[in-house]
Structure 1
Protein backbone atom coordinates (compact mmCIF):
# COMPACT_ATOMS: atom_id res chain seq x y z
CA UNK A 1 0.00 0.00 0.00
CA UNK A 2 1.36 3.37 -1.01
CA UNK A 3 1.69 6.20 1.48
CA UNK A 4 1.72 8.83 -1.24
CA UNK A 5 -2.02 9.76 -1.07
CA UNK A 6 -1.79 9.90 2.72
CA UNK A 7 1.22 12.19 2.57
CA UNK A 8 -0.62 14.54 0.20
CA UNK A 9 -3.57 14.58 2.56
CA UNK A 10 -1.25 15.44 5.45
CA UNK A 11 0.42 18.19 3.41
CA UNK A 12 -2.98 19.68 2.55
CA UNK A 13 -3.97 19.59 6.20
CA UNK A 14 -0.77 21.40 7.16
CA UNK A 15 -1.41 24.06 4.49
CA UNK A 16 -4.94 24.54 5.80
CA UNK A 17 -3.60 25.02 9.34
CA UNK A 18 -1.02 27.54 8.15
CA UNK A 19 -3.56 29.64 6.24
CA UNK A 20 -4.77 32.71 8.10
CA UNK A 21 -8.12 32.15 9.75
CA UNK A 22 -10.83 34.41 8.39
CA UNK A 23 -13.65 35.46 10.63
CA UNK A 24 -17.14 36.17 9.41
CA UNK A 25 -18.33 39.75 9.49
CA UNK A 26 -21.71 41.25 8.67
CA UNK A 27 -22.49 41.84 5.01
CA UNK A 28 -22.22 45.50 4.05
CA UNK A 29 -22.32 47.57 0.91
CA UNK A 30 -18.81 48.83 1.64
CA UNK A 31 -17.43 45.27 1.76
CA UNK A 32 -18.99 44.49 -1.62
CA UNK A 33 -17.65 47.77 -3.01
CA UNK A 34 -14.16 47.07 -1.62
CA UNK A 35 -14.09 43.69 -3.36
CA UNK A 36 -15.28 45.09 -6.71
CA UNK A 37 -12.80 47.97 -6.62
CA UNK A 38 -9.97 45.59 -5.64
CA UNK A 39 -10.69 43.66 -8.85
CA UNK A 40 -10.39 46.85 -10.89
CA UNK A 41 -14.08 47.01 -11.79
CA UNK A 42 -15.67 50.36 -12.58
CA UNK A 43 -18.76 50.69 -10.42
CA UNK A 44 -21.16 53.38 -9.42
CA UNK A 45 -24.21 53.82 -7.26
CA UNK A 46 -27.75 54.11 -8.55
CA UNK A 47 -30.56 56.30 -7.20
CA UNK A 48 -31.53 53.57 -4.71
CA UNK A 49 -28.03 53.41 -3.27
CA UNK A 50 -27.22 50.05 -4.89
CA UNK A 51 -23.82 49.37 -6.42
CA UNK A 52 -23.97 48.91 -10.18
CA UNK A 53 -21.68 48.38 -13.11
CA UNK A 54 -21.51 47.05 -16.65
CA UNK A 55 -19.89 43.78 -17.71
CA UNK A 56 -19.74 42.87 -21.40
CA UNK A 57 -22.36 45.55 -22.06
CA UNK A 58 -24.84 44.13 -19.54
CA UNK A 59 -25.88 46.01 -16.39
CA UNK A 60 -25.41 44.35 -12.99
CA UNK A 61 -26.61 45.48 -9.58
CA UNK A 62 -25.35 44.44 -6.15
CA UNK A 63 -28.38 44.75 -3.91
CA UNK A 64 -28.49 44.28 -0.15
CA UNK A 65 -31.96 43.36 0.99
CA UNK A 66 -33.70 41.77 3.96
CA UNK A 67 -34.66 43.24 7.32
CA UNK A 68 -31.01 43.98 8.14
CA UNK A 69 -29.47 44.04 4.64
CA UNK A 70 -28.29 40.47 5.21
CA UNK A 71 -29.25 39.11 1.77
CA UNK A 72 -26.88 39.74 -1.13
CA UNK A 73 -28.43 39.75 -4.60
CA UNK A 74 -26.31 40.01 -7.72
CA UNK A 75 -28.72 40.88 -10.53
CA UNK A 76 -27.95 41.29 -14.18
CA UNK A 77 -29.98 42.67 -17.08
CA UNK A 78 -29.22 41.73 -20.66
CA UNK A 79 -28.46 44.82 -22.77
CA UNK A 80 -30.77 43.57 -25.52
CA UNK A 81 -34.54 43.15 -25.42
CA UNK A 82 -36.78 40.89 -27.45
CA UNK A 83 -40.17 41.42 -29.07
CA UNK A 84 -43.10 40.27 -26.95
CA UNK A 85 -44.03 37.88 -29.77
CA UNK A 86 -40.91 35.84 -28.80
CA UNK A 87 -42.26 35.19 -25.27
CA UNK A 88 -42.92 31.44 -25.72
CA UNK A 89 -39.53 30.68 -27.26
CA UNK A 90 -37.76 32.85 -24.68
CA UNK A 91 -39.55 31.14 -21.80
CA UNK A 92 -38.42 27.77 -23.16
CA UNK A 93 -34.80 28.94 -23.17
CA UNK A 94 -35.15 30.40 -19.66
CA UNK A 95 -36.78 27.24 -18.32
CA UNK A 96 -34.09 25.06 -19.90
CA UNK A 97 -31.39 27.13 -18.23
CA UNK A 98 -33.10 27.11 -14.83
CA UNK A 99 -33.74 23.37 -15.02
CA UNK A 100 -30.16 22.47 -15.94
CA UNK A 101 -28.22 24.89 -13.71
CA UNK A 102 -28.24 26.06 -10.13
CA UNK A 103 -27.05 29.61 -10.85
CA UNK A 104 -28.11 32.10 -11.84
CA UNK A 105 -31.86 32.17 -11.56
CA UNK A 106 -33.05 33.57 -14.88
CA UNK A 107 -36.34 35.34 -15.58
CA UNK A 108 -37.92 37.74 -18.01
CA UNK A 109 -40.06 40.82 -17.53
CA UNK A 110 -42.20 42.85 -19.87
CA UNK A 111 -40.78 46.37 -20.18
CA UNK A 112 -42.05 48.92 -22.68
CA UNK A 113 -43.84 46.19 -24.69
CA UNK A 114 -40.61 44.18 -25.01
CA UNK A 115 -39.03 41.32 -23.08
CA UNK A 116 -36.11 42.08 -20.79
CA UNK A 117 -34.04 39.20 -19.43
CA UNK A 118 -32.55 39.13 -15.94
CA UNK A 119 -30.24 36.92 -13.92
CA UNK A 120 -30.08 36.74 -10.15
CA UNK A 121 -27.99 35.03 -7.50
CA UNK A 122 -29.31 35.59 -3.95
CA UNK A 123 -27.64 34.44 -0.76
CA UNK A 124 -28.79 34.90 2.84
CA UNK A 125 -25.75 35.95 4.88
CA UNK A 126 -27.54 36.52 8.18
CA UNK A 127 -24.67 34.93 10.13
CA UNK A 128 -21.96 36.87 8.34
CA UNK A 129 -19.51 36.10 5.58
CA UNK A 130 -15.73 35.94 5.24
CA UNK A 131 -13.95 38.04 2.64
CA UNK A 132 -13.17 34.91 0.60
CA UNK A 133 -16.79 33.77 0.72
CA UNK A 134 -18.03 37.20 -0.32
CA UNK A 135 -15.57 37.28 -3.22
CA UNK A 136 -16.73 33.86 -4.36
CA UNK A 137 -20.42 34.83 -4.18
CA UNK A 138 -19.96 38.08 -6.11
CA UNK A 139 -17.81 36.31 -8.71
CA UNK A 140 -20.46 33.58 -9.02
CA UNK A 141 -23.24 36.12 -9.58
CA UNK A 142 -21.25 37.99 -12.18
CA UNK A 143 -19.69 35.01 -13.90
CA UNK A 144 -22.85 32.97 -14.26
CA UNK A 145 -24.86 36.03 -15.33
CA UNK A 146 -22.35 36.91 -18.03
CA UNK A 147 -22.32 33.24 -19.08
CA UNK A 148 -26.10 33.18 -19.50
CA UNK A 149 -26.18 36.40 -21.49
CA UNK A 150 -23.39 35.13 -23.78
CA UNK A 151 -25.27 31.85 -24.34
CA UNK A 152 -28.46 33.76 -25.09
CA UNK A 153 -26.68 36.05 -27.55
CA UNK A 154 -25.58 32.94 -29.44
CA UNK A 155 -29.18 31.75 -29.72
CA UNK A 156 -30.88 35.01 -30.69
CA UNK A 157 -30.04 36.70 -33.99
CA UNK A 158 -29.22 40.38 -33.57
CA UNK A 159 -32.12 41.42 -35.85
CA UNK A 160 -34.59 39.81 -33.40
CA UNK A 161 -33.61 42.12 -30.60
CA UNK A 162 -33.09 45.73 -29.81
CA UNK A 163 -30.70 47.51 -27.52
CA UNK A 164 -33.58 48.10 -25.15
CA UNK A 165 -32.63 51.62 -24.30
CA UNK A 166 -30.39 52.18 -21.32
CA UNK A 167 -30.46 49.29 -18.85
CA UNK A 168 -29.46 51.61 -16.03
CA UNK A 169 -32.87 53.24 -16.39
CA UNK A 170 -34.59 49.94 -15.62
CA UNK A 171 -34.70 48.78 -12.02
CA UNK A 172 -34.80 45.01 -11.58
Structure 2
Protein backbone atom coordinates (compact mmCIF):
# COMPACT_ATOMS: atom_id res chain seq x y z
CA UNK A 1 0.00 0.00 0.00
CA UNK A 2 1.43 3.37 -0.94
CA UNK A 3 0.33 6.73 0.35
CA UNK A 4 -0.20 9.62 -2.01
CA UNK A 5 1.59 12.64 -0.47
CA UNK A 6 -1.23 14.88 -1.69
CA UNK A 7 -3.66 12.84 0.42
CA UNK A 8 -2.07 14.19 3.60
CA UNK A 9 -4.38 17.05 4.51
CA UNK A 10 -2.96 20.56 4.52
CA UNK A 11 -2.72 21.76 8.07
CA UNK A 12 -2.76 25.48 8.58
CA UNK A 13 -3.03 26.99 12.00
CA UNK A 14 -6.59 28.08 12.71
CA UNK A 15 -6.86 31.82 12.60
CA UNK A 16 -8.29 33.43 15.73
CA UNK A 17 -11.49 35.40 15.33
CA UNK A 18 -10.85 39.01 14.43
CA UNK A 19 -11.89 41.57 17.06
CA UNK A 20 -14.82 43.51 15.72
CA UNK A 21 -15.04 41.26 12.67
CA UNK A 22 -13.68 42.58 9.41
CA UNK A 23 -11.08 41.18 7.09
CA UNK A 24 -8.07 43.00 8.53
CA UNK A 25 -5.34 40.63 9.74
CA UNK A 26 -4.75 40.62 13.49
CA UNK A 27 -0.98 40.56 13.02
CA UNK A 28 1.63 37.90 12.64
CA UNK A 29 1.11 34.44 14.10
CA UNK A 30 2.60 33.94 17.53
CA UNK A 31 6.14 32.82 18.16
CA UNK A 32 6.09 29.51 20.04
CA UNK A 33 8.63 27.08 21.41
CA UNK A 34 7.29 23.84 19.92
CA UNK A 35 7.00 20.73 22.01
CA UNK A 36 5.71 17.18 21.65
CA UNK A 37 2.18 18.24 22.60
CA UNK A 38 2.06 20.71 19.68
CA UNK A 39 3.32 18.04 17.26
CA UNK A 40 0.72 15.58 18.63
CA UNK A 41 -2.02 18.14 17.94
CA UNK A 42 -0.65 18.66 14.44
CA UNK A 43 -0.65 14.91 13.69
CA UNK A 44 -4.18 14.62 15.10
CA UNK A 45 -5.37 17.42 12.83
CA UNK A 46 -3.59 15.81 9.88
CA UNK A 47 -5.47 12.60 10.81
CA UNK A 48 -2.26 10.59 11.00
CA UNK A 49 -1.96 7.61 13.32
CA UNK A 50 0.82 8.04 15.84
CA UNK A 51 2.26 6.53 19.00
CA UNK A 52 4.93 7.37 21.54
CA UNK A 53 7.73 4.80 21.42
CA UNK A 54 9.68 3.34 24.35
CA UNK A 55 12.23 6.19 24.11
CA UNK A 56 9.48 8.80 24.34
CA UNK A 57 9.61 9.85 20.69
CA UNK A 58 6.45 10.53 18.72
CA UNK A 59 6.18 8.12 15.78
CA UNK A 60 3.83 7.95 12.80
CA UNK A 61 3.95 4.49 11.18
CA UNK A 62 3.35 3.81 7.50
CA UNK A 63 3.59 0.54 5.65
CA UNK A 64 7.29 0.24 4.83
CA UNK A 65 8.61 3.08 7.00
CA UNK A 66 8.17 5.12 10.16
CA UNK A 67 8.46 8.86 10.72
CA UNK A 68 9.78 10.06 14.08
CA UNK A 69 9.20 13.55 15.48
CA UNK A 70 11.95 14.22 18.02
CA UNK A 71 13.21 17.02 20.19
CA UNK A 72 16.92 16.79 21.02
CA UNK A 73 19.52 18.80 22.90
CA UNK A 74 19.90 19.86 26.51
CA UNK A 75 17.00 22.29 26.21
CA UNK A 76 15.12 20.32 23.51
CA UNK A 77 16.18 23.09 21.13
CA UNK A 78 16.53 20.89 18.04
CA UNK A 79 13.44 19.51 16.32
CA UNK A 80 14.07 16.63 13.91
CA UNK A 81 11.78 14.64 11.66
CA UNK A 82 13.48 11.33 10.83
CA UNK A 83 12.21 8.62 8.52
CA UNK A 84 13.43 5.06 8.84
CA UNK A 85 12.71 3.10 5.67
CA UNK A 86 12.25 -0.66 6.14
CA UNK A 87 13.33 -1.83 2.67
CA UNK A 88 16.78 -3.35 2.90
CA UNK A 89 19.41 -3.49 0.18
CA UNK A 90 22.39 -5.82 -0.12
CA UNK A 91 25.82 -4.29 0.34
CA UNK A 92 26.57 -5.03 -3.34
CA UNK A 93 23.79 -2.59 -4.32
CA UNK A 94 25.03 0.27 -2.11
CA UNK A 95 26.75 2.10 -5.00
CA UNK A 96 23.51 2.21 -6.99
CA UNK A 97 21.56 3.32 -3.90
CA UNK A 98 24.10 6.08 -3.16
CA UNK A 99 23.75 7.36 -6.74
CA UNK A 100 19.96 7.50 -6.32
CA UNK A 101 19.99 9.26 -2.99
CA UNK A 102 22.62 11.72 -4.27
CA UNK A 103 20.16 12.57 -7.03
CA UNK A 104 17.34 12.99 -4.49
CA UNK A 105 19.50 15.16 -2.22
CA UNK A 106 20.54 17.41 -5.13
CA UNK A 107 17.00 17.87 -6.43
CA UNK A 108 15.00 18.26 -3.22
CA UNK A 109 15.18 20.27 -0.03
CA UNK A 110 14.11 17.52 2.32
CA UNK A 111 14.44 15.05 3.71
CA UNK A 112 18.16 14.65 3.30
CA UNK A 113 18.63 10.92 2.92
CA UNK A 114 21.63 8.80 3.86
CA UNK A 115 22.50 5.12 4.20
CA UNK A 116 23.12 3.09 7.32
CA UNK A 117 24.98 -0.19 6.86
CA UNK A 118 24.32 -2.73 9.59
CA UNK A 119 27.00 -5.12 10.83
CA UNK A 120 25.43 -7.93 8.77
CA UNK A 121 25.94 -5.93 5.55
CA UNK A 122 22.30 -4.88 5.13
CA UNK A 123 21.88 -1.30 3.90
CA UNK A 124 18.87 0.78 4.96
CA UNK A 125 17.90 4.38 4.27
CA UNK A 126 17.19 7.19 6.72
CA UNK A 127 15.73 10.58 5.86
CA UNK A 128 16.16 13.60 8.11
CA UNK A 129 15.05 17.22 8.37
CA UNK A 130 15.93 19.52 11.27
CA UNK A 131 15.33 22.99 12.62
CA UNK A 132 16.43 24.86 15.70
CA UNK A 133 13.36 25.83 17.75
CA UNK A 134 14.78 26.66 21.18
CA UNK A 135 14.38 30.42 20.90
CA UNK A 136 10.94 30.10 19.34
CA UNK A 137 9.57 29.91 15.84
CA UNK A 138 6.60 31.35 13.99
CA UNK A 139 3.69 28.96 14.59
CA UNK A 140 2.56 28.93 10.95
CA UNK A 141 6.10 28.26 9.77
CA UNK A 142 6.54 25.37 12.21
CA UNK A 143 3.20 23.80 11.35
CA UNK A 144 3.59 24.10 7.58
CA UNK A 145 7.21 22.93 7.63
CA UNK A 146 6.39 19.89 9.76
CA UNK A 147 3.49 18.97 7.44
CA UNK A 148 5.73 19.44 4.38
CA UNK A 149 8.49 17.31 5.92
CA UNK A 150 5.97 14.55 6.58
CA UNK A 151 4.70 14.76 3.01
CA UNK A 152 8.26 14.68 1.68
CA UNK A 153 9.08 11.55 3.74
CA UNK A 154 6.15 9.78 2.09
CA UNK A 155 7.17 11.19 -1.29
CA UNK A 156 10.70 9.82 -0.97
CA UNK A 157 9.42 6.29 -0.41
CA UNK A 158 7.29 6.55 -3.56
CA UNK A 159 10.18 8.08 -5.52
CA UNK A 160 12.48 5.17 -4.58
CA UNK A 161 9.83 2.62 -5.56
CA UNK A 162 9.52 4.29 -8.98
CA UNK A 163 13.28 4.73 -9.50
CA UNK A 164 14.04 1.10 -8.63
CA UNK A 165 11.12 -0.27 -10.63
CA UNK A 166 9.51 -1.82 -7.56
CA UNK A 167 5.95 -0.70 -8.30
CA UNK A 168 4.72 -4.18 -9.26
CA UNK A 169 6.35 -5.67 -6.15
CA UNK A 170 4.69 -3.09 -3.90
CA UNK A 171 1.28 -3.41 -5.60
CA UNK A 172 1.56 -7.19 -5.45
CA UNK A 173 1.98 -7.01 -1.67
CA UNK A 174 -1.38 -5.20 -1.45
CA UNK A 175 -3.08 -7.63 -3.79
CA UNK A 176 -3.74 -5.04 -6.49
CA UNK A 177 -3.24 -5.80 -10.15
CA UNK A 178 -1.01 -3.54 -12.17
CA UNK A 179 -2.53 -1.95 -15.30
CA UNK A 180 -0.20 -4.05 -17.50
CA UNK A 181 -1.78 -7.24 -16.11
CA UNK A 182 -5.24 -6.26 -17.39
CA UNK A 183 -6.37 -6.82 -20.90
Pick one of 67, 72, 79 that aligns with 1:72. Answer: 79
Q: Which residue of 2 aligns with 1:134?
A: 142
Count residues in correspondence.
146
TM-score of the two chains, using structure 1 as the length reference: 0.76
Pick one of 42, 47, 54 that aligns with 1:35. Answer: 42
Counterpart secondary structure, 1:72: strand
- Structure 1's unaligned 5+ residue stretches are 1-13, 162-172
Q: How does 1:7-156 map to 2 (within 5 A)?
A: 17-19=24-26, 21-111=28-118, 112-156=120-164
Deviations 1:124-147 (A, max 9, x none): 112212332221121121111111
Task: Give the Cα separation in 2 of the matches to 1:142 and 1:83.
Answer: 27
Q: 8 Å contact 1:82–1:115 — kept in the other structure?
A: yes
Q: 8 Å contact 1:27–1:69 — kept in the other structure?
A: no
The structure with the greater share of residues assigned to helix is 1
The RMSD of aligned alpha carbons is: 2.2
CA positional deviation for 1:56: 4.9
TM-score of the two chains, using structure 2 as the length reference: 0.72
- Structure 2's unaligned 5+ residue stretches are 1-21, 170-183
